[in-house]
Amino acid sequence: MSRKTGTLPPEYFEEKYRADIDPWQFRTSNYEHEKYVATISALGQSRYISALEIGCSIGVLTELLAKRCDTIMAIDASATAIAAARDANIRNVTFEVGTLPRDFPAGQYSLIVLSEVLYYFVEADLWTIAAHCTDALLPGGEIIVCHWLGETNYPLTGRAASEQFARAVATRLPQRVLLRDDVYRLERFSAP
């Protein structure tokens, strides 16, 4: 399997969602359900003032996060996925179409979630996103990162994406807690 050499463009995701509104079976997969439960359990605080979910897709994880957050900004590159997410009508969530790193949302967040998205970027873009995340994180906030560890043809593997992100945020968020590292890697980053 040959690895893609550039950051995946929005058209890649738009084609997937137009062909199947749930191309990775976020609503029906046991793997996804278990991962979402683990992700919510990984949250280090009981409540968050504001959250940013990068790569929200059709909003399945967003809906679970909304129960723990006062407000959420959820962003995805696919307009089709965002339209489906908006249909859920989650009252404390704003869904926006955007392509990172260019369209990183303005604002300050007490929680930033990047679930299975960083391996779609080349290293330079991942480092830019990491810098945006640390700039946007409120004091005392945390970042949750999750990546599948199986084979892909994405620009980065799950492990490589995780390690690159950890290196990029290490100075400002030196506390890294590895919560799971088998089928997927789930980790939390924060400052002391």
CATH of the domain at 176: 3.40.50.150
Range of the domain at 102: 10-190
- Of the pLDDT bands very low, low, confident and very high (cuts 50, 70, 90), residue 5 is confident
Q: Express each pLDDT in 23-82 by its tens digit.
A: 999 999 999 999 999 999 999 999 999 999 999 999 999 999 999 999 999 999 999 999
CA angle 133, 154, 101 (to 5 degrees): 30
Report the predicted TM-score, pTM, of the whole model to 2 decimal places.
0.96
**Residue 101 is assigned to a structural domain of this protein:** yes
**Residue 3 is assigned to a structural domain of this protein:** no
Q: Express each pLDDT in 149-185 by its tens digit.
A: 999 999 999 999 999 999 999 999 999 999 999 999 9
- Of the pLDDT bands very low, low, confident and very high (cuts 50, 70, 90), residue 145 is very high
Is the confidence at residue 1, as pLDDT, over 70? Answer: no
**Residue 5 is assigned to a structural domain of this protein:** no
pLDDT at 3: 78
Q: How many domains does the chain have?
A: 1
Identity at 6, one-letter amino acid code: G
- Residue 170: is it exposed, middle or buried by C-beta count within 10 angstroms (0-12/13-18/19+)? middle
Residue linked to tokens 């980790």? 187
Determine the Cα–Cα distance for residues 127 and 165; give it in Å rounded to an integer.
7
pLDDT at 43: 98
